[in-house]
Structure 1
């Protein structure tokens, strides 16, 4: 999450530094454009990832998964295995580099049709996918 935050803020910070060095703004305001991206850098790299990490969680029982998330707006979602249509384990380049993955449960319906569990160890995500798939298979028989 911190690397994603850094990659998000980095272009703005570079642009602000370039504006400050170029002297586009009058003398008292020369370094002022760097203040806003610097504040966002502190938020996106330092504080928000910690809050996002602490505000996420899940619990998998015999017949359902409960997912809780949200820093400002909290969501508590329960997905019964009987509603699962298909399952995906996905990895982006950063996730692959750190050996983590996202487990995505796709369900019937339009509202909250997919539920994502990010930040799982890749082996854990695959094991959870297989366990849920086995349960869905047993129920469909």
Structure 2
């Protein structure tokens, strides 16, 4: 991608853990179905394990590579998405408020999600996950300072 700032690499690990937790029930269901002895050994579990491995290892890495941001002096640009690409530019003059969110998993890895809420209804908020907590707090303060200068 052009001169975009990449998300923190720890975002890949957090996304992999989330993917593993999401695929776990499917894997358990495959093991239960496999134990019913309706099909040959491995006919259900092997494809499910292969698919889960792909989802856990490859998708988070591709998601990380497809995301980035650029914080200019008067706007924030967020690019993300694998299949459905999104390139959103948020002028600071339209920002209503800014949130920093941390799930327990993000907090354990020192990451935050910056959410910028704007005026209007279409795309009224833009989320930027996978930021180092210190960077997200600094971005929030920079946007806040710009808004404060603009209102004076």
Query: Shared topology, TM-score over 0.5?
Result: yes
Match of residue 82 from structure 1: 93
8 A contact 1:9–1:37 mirrored in 2: no
Q: Does 1:47 align with 2:77?
A: no
* Separation (CA, whole Å) in 2 of partners of 1:48 and 1:110: 31
Match of residue 97, structure 1, among 73, 97, 108: 108
Aligned-pair Cα RMSD in Å: 1.2
Match of residue 9 from structure 2: none
Match of residue 17 from structure 1: 31
Q: Does 1:33 align with 2:44?
A: yes
What SS is found at the alignment partner of 1:32?
Answer: coil
* Separation (CA, whole Å) in 1 of partners of 2:48 and 2:124: 35
Match of residue 136 from structure 2: 125
Displacement over 3 Å in runs of 4+: none
* Separation (CA, whole Å) in 1 of partners of 2:46 and 2:119: 46
Match of residue 72 from structure 1: 83
For structure 1, list consecutive stretches of 5 or more residues without a partner in the other structure: none
**TM-score with structure 2 setting the length:** 0.86
What SS is found at the alignment partner of 1:102?
Answer: strand
Q: Deviations over 1:5-57 (max 9, x none)?
A: 0000011101111221232x14x3x4322244323312320110011000000
8 A contact 1:9–1:40 mirrored in 2: no
Q: CA deviation at 1:111?
A: 1.1
